[in-house]
Amino acid sequence: MAGRLALLSSSPRTAPGLLTRFAWQCLEDAAQVLARDADEPLAAAVEDAGLPVRHVGDVAAPELARTLVGEALAAGAPGVVWVLSADGDPGLTDAIASEVSRLPEPPDVEVVVGSWDVPGSRVLDLVAVMDRLRSPGGCPWDAEQTHESLVKYLIEEAHEAAEAIRSGDRDHMVEELGDVLLQVAFQSRVGEEDPDRPFDIDEVAGAIVEKLLRRHPHVFAEGDATTPEEVERAWEVIKAEERAAKAEHTGGEAGHTGLLHGIPPSLPTVLAAEKALARWERTGGDLASLRDDGDLGERLLALVARAREQGRSADDLLREALHRFAADQLP
């Protein structure tokens, strides 16, 4: 047999030692394992597992291709394994293809994928990029931002994401949701530097995971809600328990259970009304009982309630009417 050359690749977003059984088998059976240097994470993991790795240094792709093909021919059947660098060794596969094409009996060449990206792995890239921007030698503008200075961007990006969703443009949605995700990553990175109470994106993600598990007992525990309406009623009970527990933990008052509790004052009034009315309805309130013959504010609130009764959002309805009105005024 003319020999065998295996190019071992792995996801840079997965721990270097987490390789498939077949990948480890290739490494163990090879006559020789080669890599650029000991600083390569995957090569270091292979060495940590007790397999010797020969380091060839930083050589150009054509020279490296000649070396690997020559070593594969010399090794014969056991073959050799090249541990690809984190950057994938740009140009190497083309150089190997050129090298083997001129040989009468070239070695077999195959790519062995040792690990793949898991869902959500690109978020790790975002965290790494944000860390680079915020660290010494990164971006001066990013480095001077604070939680407070970033608030306006969080609000702006949330509104832009909402508009993208309304537009139905999928590419626009991806872009704008990415901008919202950036704000979460940015705030979390700033949070790491607090001298008294630091937090990072893992703590932020962990908090929402715990909340999702706690508020979905019908999925993750023994809850029995089977309809959206039952889920909403269960949520109100769970959230009331959370508020009581938080008040007990902080020594505060447990009475913050009004319809407006937790609704940000800056939330647009129609949206705040929708949220308060939804809470009221879930606790037994009758939307139809709201007066539509009172003062102007009461009539507006009653209109929001009528929209909810019809399964519509008053905010969406008003927005649509405003757009129609604006279009009608065009010359």
How confident is the prediction along the chain (331 residues), in pLDDT tens digits per residue?
A: 579 999 999 998 888 889 999 999 999 999 999 999 988 999 999 999 999 999 999 999 999 999 999 999 999 989 999 999 988 999 999 999 999 999 999 999 999 999 998 899 899 999 999 999 999 999 999 999 999 999 999 999 999 999 999 999 999 999 999 999 999 999 999 999 999 999 999 999 999 999 999 999 999 998 888 898 888 888 888 888 887 787 776 565 544 557 888 888 888 899 999 999 988 888 889 998 998 888 999 999 999 999 999 999 999 999 899 989 999 887 7
Phi-psi map region of 3: left, alpha, beta (phi>0 left; psi -120 to 50 alpha): left
CATH number, domain containing residue 12: 3.40.1010.10
CA–CA–CA angle 228, 232, 236 (5° rounding): 170
Q: Does residue 220 belong to any structural domain of this protein?
A: no
3-state SS class at 301: helix
pLDDT for residue 71 = 95
pLDDT for residue 250 = 59
Phi-psi map region of 119: left, alpha, beta (phi>0 left; psi -120 to 50 alpha): beta
In angstroms, rounded to a whole number, what is the distance separating the alpha carbons of residues 309 and 321? 19
Secondary structure (H, E, C), 7-28:
EEECCCCCCCCCCCHHHHHHHH
Q: State which residues form the domain around 248.
A: 227-257
In contact, 181 and 129? CB cutoff 8 Å: no
pLDDT digits (tens, 9 = 90+) for 96-114: 999 999 999 999 999 999 9
Tell me the DSSP string of 164-198. Answer: HHHHT-HHHHHHHHHHHHHHHHHHHHHHTT-SSS-
Indicate the number of domains in the chain.
Answer: 4
pLDDT for residue 262 = 80
pLDDT for residue 38 = 86
Residues 6 or more apart whose Cβ sits within 8 Å of residue 59: 67
- Is the four-CA dihedral 73, 74, 78, 84 of positive or negative sign? negative
Residues 6 or more apart whose Cβ sits within 8 Å of residue 221: 213
Domain co-membership, 168 together with 242: no
CATH number, domain containing residue 144: 1.10.287.1080
Domain co-membership, 24 together with 90: yes
Domain co-membership, 194 together with 247: no
Helices marked H in 88-227: 92-101, 122-134, 140-144, 147-167, 170-191, 201-215, 217-220
Whether the full predicted model's pTM is greater than 0.85, yes or no, is no
In angstroms, rounded to a whole number, what is the distance separating the alpha carbons of residues 33 and 6? 10
Residue that is last in its domain, among 113, 137, 158: 113
Domain co-membership, 123 together with 106: no
